[in-house]
Amino acid sequence: MPQLEIATYFSQLFWLAICFAIIILFSWRISLPRLTTLLLQRWEQIEGQKKLANTLRIEAETLQRIQEQNLELARRQAKEIMLQADHKMKLKFEHERVRISHTMKEKIKLTEGHLHKKKEQLSKQMPEIVLQLSHEILKKTLTPSELPRPISPKIKKGKTPDV
């Protein structure tokens, strides 16, 4: 095995040192600065995103507080509108109730007057109606031979015809 020969140790160590030095120099001068720059950029980006997230969180909280205030204001306004509408409806209802009550009282008075007139007319016509009704009853209950003489349609007040 050539790796174990003592005569080639020095050449192998020489090339090992040269390759190691080249890799160290390459890493120190080229790779590490690039990695450092990349890590710094990532760090700054993460910190920037944290700051942005914090700013957005604060802004969102502020907007939420404003929205809650607007919502509360809208609720108060809606409650006031409902109370005003309720008050207006109660007033309108009361006005309509009074108007209808007044109208109904007038109609009741007119109807009572009309009924009173009808009652008077009927009370004036009652003796004649009774007379005709009794005559019809007698016609239907009695035989034709038992019928009384014909009754005159003109009847004086206070006098009742003979039946």
* Residue ranges of domains in the chain: 26-140
d(CA 162, CA 153): 13
Please give the average per-residue pLDDT across 123-131, as a whole number: 87
pTM metric for this prediction: 0.43
pLDDT in tens, 20-69: 999 999 999 999 999 999 999 999 999 999 999 999 999 999 999 999 99
Mean pLDDT of 149-156: 56
What mean pLDDT is predicted for residues 125-131?
87
pLDDT at 129 > cutoff 90: no
Name the CA radius of gyration of the chain, rounded. Answer: 61
| DSSP-assigned letter for residue 158 | T
CA–CA separation, 20 vs 47, rounded Å?
37
> Mean pLDDT, the chain, as a whole number?
88
In terms of pLDDT, which residue wins out, 159 or 106? 106
- Point out the least confidently predicted range of 89-93, 125-129, 150-154: 150-154
Neighbours of 151 (CB within 10 A): 15
